[in-house]
Amino acid sequence: MISRSPDLIKFRGVVVSPRNLRSFHHRHPPPPPAPTMSDLRPPEHQVAGHRASANKLGPLVDGSGLFYKPLQAGDRGEQERAFYEAFSAHAAVPPRIRDAFFPRFHGTRLLPTEARPGDTHPHLVLDDLLAGLQAPSVADIKIGAITWPPSSPETYVAKCLAKDRGTTSVLLGFRVSGVRVVAPGGAVWRPERPELKALDTAGVRRVLRRYVSSVSGEGADCSLAAAVYGGEGGVLSQLHELKAWFEEQTLFHFYSASILLGYDANAVSATGVGGGVRVKLVDFAHVAEGDGVIDHNFLGGLCSLIKFISDIVSEAPETPPLAP
Amino acid sequence: MISRSPDLIKFRGVVVSPRNLRSFHHRHPPPPPAPTMSDLRPPEHQVAGHRASANKLGPLVDGSGLFYKPLQAGDRGEQERAFYEAFSAHAAVPPRIRDAFFPRFHGTRLLPTEARPGDTHPHLVLDDLLAGLQAPSVADIKIGAITWPPSSPETYVAKCLAKDRGTTSVLLGFRVSGVRVVAPGGAVWRPERPELKALDTAGVRRVLRRYVSSVSGEGADCSLAAAVYGGEGGVLSQLHELKAWFEEQTLFHFYSASILLGYDANAVSATGVGGGVRVKLVDFAHVAEGDGVIDHNFLGGLCSLIKFISDIVSEAPETPPLAP
């Protein structure tokens, strides 16, 4: 559990020191004035999680680089806020890791809710991870064979375990929670959740191949594999950097967090050498303290994902496609 | 399930090819004539698993380098035999990995049982992994946060999950199943199973420190850490070699297998530079097919163990102790 006071932030019992907090505030000046509701809209490219609608809370973007994530119900919202506060302030997190692989946290903000006029709801203010991508191809991959923190109550363990066994989590150490692929003509492939939940090992391999293919329809040519997955700054090299950190870091255990992959389908097909490839961690409502132990569950799933993607790069055509 | 015929060996549905089988028989000539019961005795240094007694089946050694493990009841015994047969014959297993990290398999043999006079029981004939060590200090470490193969029935999952959560398996990705440490005067420390089962993170760290300490009693000086864990041929370098294989290998998933550590407490304290340090995998009754996916569960636990042991080496005195 988390407790907060004006002077201290506790993350699952660990007090974040005032020294770290100063550093946190130094790095994160208060965000600009609140946007009005008319600036905000549901993100067009969201592939997983709750979606905002007239009657439901969901994330919003302001079109100028910020992403507003409503605090989730129960403990989750507060847990996620506590994680962002602790993580942003933690002196032992290498700045390169924080900047490269995590959305920047800009505090929380009360926003009016369409569902309950006159009422407000607290939102985490984060970087919009897909800002700047004209035609984002996105994949949300939930990492770890185990998605429940060890201290969870029995009913929660049972619920998660059923999902972890019913999807590929236990078998592969990860599952694809969402995907959106933009084909050359602009056509978007975004399978529905039941389809993703039903994927087996071969299905996951197909989705990860299709994510780097520039065809419309069912096929997969993996013509973008070298540009998106391989090469300098590609997904694989970023995942390897993340892996090196996970082999050492004993601060946090990222249960049920996802790796979000993104690239610009327009830019990559135009230049053939990348296109804003992004690898980010998201969804921290179930992060637990590391207590001096590495996150072997996340690390194992990450290594499994790396193997899947390496295999695709090895089998794919070696040179990225040229511009048409 | 496994099926056997004179021509084929099936390991959980995978047929081991006759070509591989020939290679298997080539590498493993029939073992020497069966020992008589009077040659056989329970291993003095066993730290985990069932123990042999007048009324119970348990492993036996013949004193000349072989270890006889009774086939376990139910499917387990046949599963373990099928694993050894498939593994010994598998062309994709690097010989260096097989030779360095696994007991050599010499087939099975029917041995008379003391418990049921006149009756026999099949035994796996394996290398005695502690042969040649005068004063073996031994640790049996069960690897993986998950100890049940994904295809297991509900009742088995529930039973394993309770143990995995009740011990350090879920939290650390491994648990210490047995340990035996020989102090300089020859005194042996071998905690009982309930004590090991009750270990928390700090307790596991204490046990892994005491395993490389040359003191009698409760303390731990870690004076053997550099010689046993560190350095060329030490535990860490062997675990790193194993890790590199697990990052690539997609043949087998080693659920509920253990890493057995061994060294000669007499030799290490006499020479200060090792003493027959051994790192071996054992207990394969719950191995599953890899089906093209890495064993992220074993790999994660292995990385966690590596971090624990690295931390001990970093904190320990740098030079191994000199002979007295």
User: Are the CB atoms for A296 and B301 separated by under 8 Å?
Assistant: yes
Instruction: Kindly indicate the confidence band of residue A198, based on its pLDDT and cuts at 50, 70 and 90.
Output: very high
Q: Give contacts of A209 with chain B, Cβ < 8 Å.
A: none
Confidence (pLDDT) at B297: 98
Confidence (pLDDT) at B16: 45
Q: What is the pLDDT of residues B21-72, one digit of tens each?
A: 334 444 455 555 666 666 888 888 777 776 666 677 889 999 889 999 999 9
Nearest to B150 among A170, A299, A307 (CB): A170
| SS3 state at A312 | helix
Only one residue has tokens 């993350």, namely A11
Instruction: Kindly indicate the confidence band of residue B219, based on its pLDDT and cuts at 50, 70 and 90.
Output: confident
Q: What is the pLDDT of residues B165-204, one digit of tens each?
A: 999 999 999 999 999 999 888 899 999 999 999 999 999 9
Q: What is the pLDDT of residues B120-140, one digit of tens each?
A: 999 999 999 999 999 999 999
Q: What is the pLDDT of residues A225-277, one digit of tens each?
A: 999 999 889 999 999 999 999 999 999 999 999 999 999 999 986 555 658 89
Could you tell me the end-to-end alpha-carbon distance of chain B, in angstroms, rounded to an integer?
55
| SS3 state at A252 | strand
CA distance B305 to chain A (A): 9
In A129-218, the DSSP E strands lie at 136-143, 174-182, 188-189
Q: Give contacts of A291 with chain B, Cβ < 8 Å.
A: 201
The residue count of chain A comes to 324
Residue A161 corresponds to which tokens in the numbers above?
A: 């375990």
Among A29-43, A63-77, B253-267, which is the least confidently predicted range?
A29-43
CA distance A174 to chain B (A): 10
pTM: 0.89
Residue B95 corresponds to which tokens in the numbers above?
A: 């010989």
User: Are the CB atoms for B48 and B178 separated by under 8 Å?
Assistant: yes
Tell which wins on pLDDT, A239 or A49: A239
Q: Contact A201/B297, CB-based, under 8 Å? A: no
| Minimum CA–CA partner of A158 in chain B | B158
Confidence (pLDDT) at B115: 74
pLDDT > 70? residue A13: no
> Alpha carbon of A320 to those of A133, A272, A274, B288: distances in Å?
19, 5, 9, 38
Interface test with A, best of B164, B296, B303 (most A CBs within 10 A): B296
Cα–Cα distance for residue pair B103/B97, rounded to 1 Å = 11
Contacts by B218-224 with C-beta closer than 8 Å and gap 24+?
B221/B317, B222/B312, B222/B315, B222/B316, B222/B317, B223/B316, B223/B317, B223/B320, B223/B321, B224/B263, B224/B268, B224/B269, B224/B320, B224/B321
Residue of B191, B158, B189 lying closest to B177 (CA atoms): B191
Domains of chain A, each with CATH number or no CATH: 3-127 (no CATH), 136-315 (3.30.470.160)
- Average pLDDT rounded to a whole number, residues A297-307: 98
What is the strand order of the sheet B174-182 is part of? B188-189, B174-182, B136-143, B258-264, B278-282
pLDDT > 70? residue A310: yes
Q: Contact B201/A172, CB-based, under 8 Å? A: no
Cα–Cα distance for residue pair B281/B103, rounded to 1 Å = 8
Cα–Cα distance for residue pair A110/A118, rounded to 1 Å = 12
Q: What share of chain A is helix, strand, coil (3-state, %, to 5)?
A: 35, 20, 45
ipTM of model over 0.90: no
Residue of A206, A294, A174, A199 lying closest to B294 (CA atoms): A174
Confidence (pLDDT) at B185: 84
Q: Contact A303/B296, CB-based, under 8 Å? A: yes
Q: What is the pLDDT of residues B64-122, one digit of tens each?
A: 899 999 999 989 999 999 999 999 999 999 999 999 999 999 999 999 887 778 899 99
| Minimum CA–CA partner of A310 in chain B | B248
Torsion of CA B301, B304, B306, B309, to 10 degrees: -120
Share of chain B above pLDDT 70, in %: 82
Confidence (pLDDT) at A3: 36
Contacts by A70-79 with C-beta closer than 8 Å and gap 24+?
A70/A111, A70/A121, A70/A122, A70/A123, A71/A108, A71/A121, A71/A122, A71/A123, A71/A124, A72/A285, A75/A1, A75/A2, A76/A285, A76/A286, A77/A122, A77/A285, A78/A2, A79/A2, A79/A12, A79/A284, A79/A285, A79/A286, A79/A287
* Average pLDDT of chain B, as a whole number: 86
Q: Contact B304/A293, CB-based, under 8 Å? A: yes
Highest mean pLDDT of the ranges A58-62, A131-135, B61-65, B158-162 = B158-162
Confidence (pLDDT) at A12: 56
Residue B283 corresponds to which tokens in the numbers above?
A: 């207990």
Q: Contact A307/B247, CB-based, under 8 Å? A: yes
Share of chain A above pLDDT 70, in %: 82
Nearest to B247 among A145, A165, A303 (CB): A303
Share of chain B above pLDDT 90, in %: 68
CA distance A66 to chain B (A): 35
Cα–Cα distance for residue pair A161/A169, rounded to 1 Å = 9
Cα–Cα distance for residue pair A82/A223, rounded to 1 Å = 42
Cα–Cα distance for residue pair A293/B200, rounded to 1 Å = 12
